[in-house]
Chains A and B, each alone.
Chain A
Amino acid sequence: DVKVTQSSRYLVKRTGEKVFLECVQDMDHENMFWYRQDPGLGLRLIYFSYDVKMKEKGDIPEGYSVSREKKERFSLILESASTNQTSMYLCASSEGDTYNEQFFGPGTRLTVL
């Protein structure tokens, strides 16, 4: 079974802090994704990566950056957290073409005070 894990289920940070969200997958998938989920808006893609050290902006990359130094790990970075970044963050991975089925982690609920 594919397993996607995220470093924290719940996280509380203060405005202006630098925040790291970590995601690890164990199935050697090429593609990894970061989404944020907000009520009524569904999932919105922040960034994705189709290979190590490669990254592409999604629909809402502003205020975020990512890092993929190893194939199994994809990090989302909030350089200076703001209250409007309070949200549920979901990581996913998929193999091969980017339109293939995605496997999701349990999510990290981030609260920025």
Chain B
Amino acid sequence: AQKVTQAQTEISVVEKEDVTLDCVYETRDTTYYLFWYKQPPSGELVFLIRRNSFDEQNEISGRYSWNFQKSTSSFNFTITASQVVDSAVYFCALSVLRDGQNFVFGPGTRLSVLP
């Protein structure tokens, strides 16, 4: 069975601090996809990134970066120079390539960026 763990339930930082959100996943499949979604206070989840299991390159998009390490089954998300607008709940998710639906979300990490 697939599982996603986000050990940090809530994180608070002061604006301009860097913050890393942890994600650890479990799967026996060799082909899978990892995702991060952001859920701002308005409620609508917004897609941030998708990585497949064969691409371990780290990715940077502006202030956001992602570190994918298969050796530790982790897909961590770092926000550099955080801003108040980054305050949201962030979900990590895992999808495997097989018949039928298999899309598992973690419990989420609530990030509060204080001015």
Contact = CB atoms under 8 A, between A and B. Distances in A.
Q: Which of B45, B91, B107 has the most CB of A within 10 A?
A: B45
Given A101-B50, A107-B43, A45 B101 contact: yes
Interface in A57-98: 58, 88, 90, 92, 97-98
Nearest to B48: A101
Contacts, number: 57
B103 A45 contact: yes
A99 B27 CA distance: 15
A100 B93 CA distance: 12
Contacts of A45: 101, 103
A99 B43 contact: no
Contact of A56 (B45, B100, B106): B100
B35 interface: yes
Interface of A: 33, 35, 40-45, 48, 50, 56, 58, 88, 90, 92, 97-107
